[in-house]
């Protein structure tokens, strides 16, 4: 199965299936000397973790186990490999319905591509969102290096169903880390809880969108034409399971506006050139402007809802009805925030490395700075 590796200078390869023994990631390209702390990894992993009130009741510990690339608590420059043991696996439903591909899922395309006898049908196999635990831990490692360069990545839920939460700030995104549904305020959290309670009572699910803001990216990062920074971001975000659309800056609004309305004034702010309204989302010509990079990713409603669905029996081709049971999220959007943040961290770190950053070992002084910045970052989001 191709397509399991992402990145150029900072490369991650994820492995494992939904109901397999482990899921994991190999990170290649990290500088040596970087202190890697499993507690810091868990700060991000807990935001994606299942088993919460409004998520799947599959209860995985998601405890990272480092199996290579570390010596005396620091990276060696060799590939860093981290695994997660799958502990709470229930495959009986999938065994009973193995011949009935689930509507809305990738079951049937996977059977066609890989052959039925080779397709791991348990929980979606390799195509399950369980794989994203590996992305989140890789993003956590990348986040530390970004903080050393003054780059902060944060996200939040920006819409749920037909409810739009309006414009959000970096501070709103950081504060969302202390809310289960990752909404930008306590008042929106209550609204979202009410909606999900209604959705659950109706045996249904709901989609929504995630807003990501990246502050501190240096102007000039990225390449023009076929390797534009915004194109790379779109590629990374649309590779997240369940994603449906990508919007850069004020993209939809711009497509419905006149040039006179979207023309953005350039100003000099204390020796730094900036755009007053930043309609472009911090990227012009595929190159970072130095302003905040912001974008939105849409996610579809969870396909597994406990209702009767029409499908086919692949043995005979005849129509059948199935009722999907199991442990599923009423909305994947709140947990998708952590995944989108992590993919943004991975992407920006890769771009920085391509531009020549992090080619020398990390020093003890730099590790101390990173640790202090991480503590500050955690204090900001917990207020």
Q: What is the pLDDT of residue 93?
A: 75
pLDDT (mean) for 161-190:
94
Looking at the predicted structure, is the pLDDT value of residue 382 above 50?
Answer: no
- Give the separation between CA 204 and CA 111, rounded to whole angstroms: 26
Q: In the sheet where 208-215 sits, what is the strand order?
A: 163-164, 152-160, 208-215, 293-299, 243-248
Q: What is the pLDDT of residue 89?
A: 75
Look over the chain and give the mean of its residue pLDDT values, rounded to a whole number.
92
Looking at the predicted structure, is the pLDDT value of residue 246 above 60?
Answer: yes
pLDDT (mean) for 211-231:
96
- Give the H/E segment covering residue 159: strand 152-160
Looking at the predicted structure, is the pLDDT value of residue 383 above 50?
Answer: no
Looking at the predicted structure, is the pLDDT value of residue 381 above 60?
Answer: no
Hey, where are the domains in the chain?
5-382
Angle at which helices 333-354 and 132-148 cross, to 10°: 50
Q: pLDDT class for 123, splitting at 50, 70, 90?
A: confident
DSSP classification of residue 155:
E
Q: How many CB atoms are located within 10 Å of the residue 8 CB?
A: 13
Q: What is the pLDDT of residue 318?
A: 95
pLDDT digits (tens, 9 = 90+) for 176-185: 999 999 999 9
User: What is 5-382's CATH topology?
Assistant: Chorismate synthase, AroC fold (3.60.150)
Token pair of 140, please? 């956590």
Q: For residues 141, 143, 147 and 153, what is the CA-based torsion angle, rounded to 10 degrees?
A: 180
Q: What is the pLDDT of residue 325?
A: 73
pLDDT (mean) for 340-348:
98
Q: pLDDT class for 58, splitting at 50, 70, 90?
A: low
In the chain, the percentage of residues whose pLDDT exceeds 70 is: 97
pLDDT (mean) for 78-104:
87
Q: pLDDT class for 345, splitting at 50, 70, 90?
A: very high
DSSP codes of every residue in 320-341: EEEE--S---S-SHHHHHHHHH
pLDDT (mean) for 165-179:
93
Q: What is the pLDDT of residue 225?
A: 93
pLDDT (mean) for 306-333:
88
Looking at the predicted structure, is the pLDDT value of residue 357 above 90?
Answer: yes
Q: What is the pLDDT of residue 38?
A: 85
Range in 12-16, 218-222, 243-247, 268-272 with the lowest mean pLDDT: 268-272
pLDDT (mean) for 95-114:
89
């Amino acid at each position: 199965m191709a397509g399991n590796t992402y990145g150029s200078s900072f490369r991650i390869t994820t492995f494992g299936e939904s109901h397999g023994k482990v899921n994991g990631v190999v990170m290649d390209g990290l500088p040596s000397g970087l202190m890697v702390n499993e507690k810091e990894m868990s700060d991000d992993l807990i935001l994606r973790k299942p088993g919460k009130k409004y998520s799947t009741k599959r209860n995985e510990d998601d405890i990272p186990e480092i199996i290579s690339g570390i010596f005396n608590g620091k990276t060696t420059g060799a590939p860093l490999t981290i695994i997660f043991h799958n502990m709470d696996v229930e495959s009986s439903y999938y065994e009973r319905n193995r011949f009935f591909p689930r509507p809305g899922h990738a079951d049937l395309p996977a059977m066609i591509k890989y052959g039925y006898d080779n397709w791991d049908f348990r929980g979606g196999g390799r195509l399950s969102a369980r794989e994203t635990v590996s992305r989140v831990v890789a993003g956590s490692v990348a986040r530390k290096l970004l903080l050393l360069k003054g780059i902060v990545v944060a996200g939040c839920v920006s819409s749920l169903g037909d409810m739009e939460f309006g414009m959000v700030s970096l501070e709103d995104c950081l504060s969302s880390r202390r809310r289960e549904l990752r909404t930008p305020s306590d008042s929106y959290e209550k609204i979202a809880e009410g909606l999900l309670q209604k959705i659950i009572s109706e045996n249904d699910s709901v989609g929504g969108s995630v807003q990501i803001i990246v502050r501190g990216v240096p102007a000039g990062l990225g390449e023009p034409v076929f390797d534009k920074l915004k194109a790379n971001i779109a590629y990374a975000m649309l590779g997240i399971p369940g994603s449906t659309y990508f919007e850069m800056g004020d993209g939809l609004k711009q497509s419905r506006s006149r040039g006179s309305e979207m023309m953005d004034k350039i100003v000099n702010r204390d020796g730094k050139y900036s755009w007053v309204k930043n309609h472009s989302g911090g990227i012009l010509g595929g190159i970072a402007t130095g302003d905040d990079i912001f974008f939105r990713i849409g996610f579809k409603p969870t396909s597994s809802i406990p209702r009767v669905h029409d499908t086919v029996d692949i043995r005979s081709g005849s129509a059948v009805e199935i009722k999907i049971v199991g442990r599923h999220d009423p909305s994947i959007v709140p947990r998708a925030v952590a995944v989108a943040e992590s993919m943004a961290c991975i992407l920006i770190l890769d771009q920085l490395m391509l531009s020549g950053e992090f080619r020398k070992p990390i020093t003890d002084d730099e590790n101390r700075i990173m640790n202090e910045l991480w503590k500050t970052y955690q204090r900001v989001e917990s207020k």
